[in-house]
Amino acid sequence: MKKIFIYLLIMLSIQNSYAQKQTYDVVNFGIPNGWDKTELPNGIQLSTKDDGYGNYAAAVIIHTVATTASATENFNNSWQALVKGTVKVNEKPAMQQPGKDKGWDIVSGQAEYTDGSNKGLVTLITATGNGKMANVVIIANTNKYQADILAFVNSLELNENATSTQTENTPVSESNIGQSSIAGSWSYGISETQFGTMTNGYSTRQYTFKNDGTYQYRYKVFSSTMNVLIFQYESGKYSLNGNQLTMAPLSGGNEEWSQNQNHPDQWGKLLKTSKRKLEEITYTFTLHYFSGIDETDLILQTSEPTEREGPFGSMQDYPNGWAFKPCNPNYTPLIENPLGFKNN
């Protein structure tokens, strides 16, 4: 008999297995009948009631976080943080063929786990689109709830459309160097999630280069282990000379904001401001086309780490540098300015 993976997004003829659909963040879902719903700091958990025999099943829908990574990278990072950070998994996940839903890239996989004396199956579904990542984790130590889990997976759907971030490759040469060659918004982000303690976080650095030779820089840090959001901003002028990019800041600042009570990764109230170190830096830049993800990134390199970019990235082909991905045109800027913030 063909093995059925519980994370397959297929249409099943299971009737009356879940109540009316609900919505959390970008995910629509149905709660299996008899399951409990628990609000978490950065997600919701659906779980079975205690049956007296130690059997259990649970599904966690985690709030989206900003990302500039590929769908595969997001799945791998989430597997390490959400799955291996929670239970003991000795094998690589058995992968399902990647798919798409409303333009989102869906990557999913599952593996057997142990948690003390408990053994079971854990599944991770990762959706990447619109500069965001959504995760669903399903865990069970018994086949007792298989019908409920299948009905839950069948009920999952994304409630917004994603737009491709495909960018045409533009080779850098003396003949085509100009403000338009890098005009637009570019982001460099890192996402971190720890499912075991239900903490997650991310940091995003973003440049917006305008055709008039001005730029804006934004940096946001969110961590559910902190009670504040970090916001840094900068504006100035930039110029291109061959493969050299010089940025000369004119103004900027550093701020700390409280977290929104309902959505901790959204701005609350301004708590603290401080002066910002303004650096004039000349970078070597490259517009590199990555065929594997069909994407052109803006690579910035310097001899030493900078105030804006922080520690170097981990690119073997471009040491001492950072890869900025093109922002989705429907979500520009990726970092939303705090309410009342004025661009200089």
Query: What confidence score (pLDDT) does residue 188 get?
Result: 86
Q: Rounded distance, CA 239 to CA 339, Å?
A: 31
Q: Rounded distance, CA 125 to CA 104, Å?
A: 12
Beta bridge partners of 155: none
Q: Is the pTM value of this prediction over 0.75? A: no
**Amino acid identity of 97?**
Q
Contact yes or no for 138/5 (Cβ under 8 A): no
User: For the segment 290-300, what is each residue's pLDDT rounded down to a tens digit?
Assistant: 766 667 889 99
**Mean pLDDT, the chain, as a whole number?**
80
User: What's the angle, vertex CA 243, arms to CA 252 and CA 236, rounded to 5?
Assistant: 15
Burial, 343: exposed, middle or buried (Cβ in 10 Å; 0-12, 13-18, 19+)?
exposed
SS3 280: coil
User: For the segment 151-188, what is each residue's pLDDT rounded down to a tens digit?
Assistant: 898 889 998 887 643 333 344 443 344 555 788 889 88
Q: Where are the beta strands (DSSP E) in the chain?
A: 22-24, 27-29, 36-40, 43-47, 57-66, 94-95, 99-101, 104-115, 118-129, 132-140, 157-158, 184-194, 199-209, 214-223, 228-241, 244-259, 267-274, 281-290, 295-301, 321-326
Contact yes or no for 23/159 (Cβ under 8 A): yes
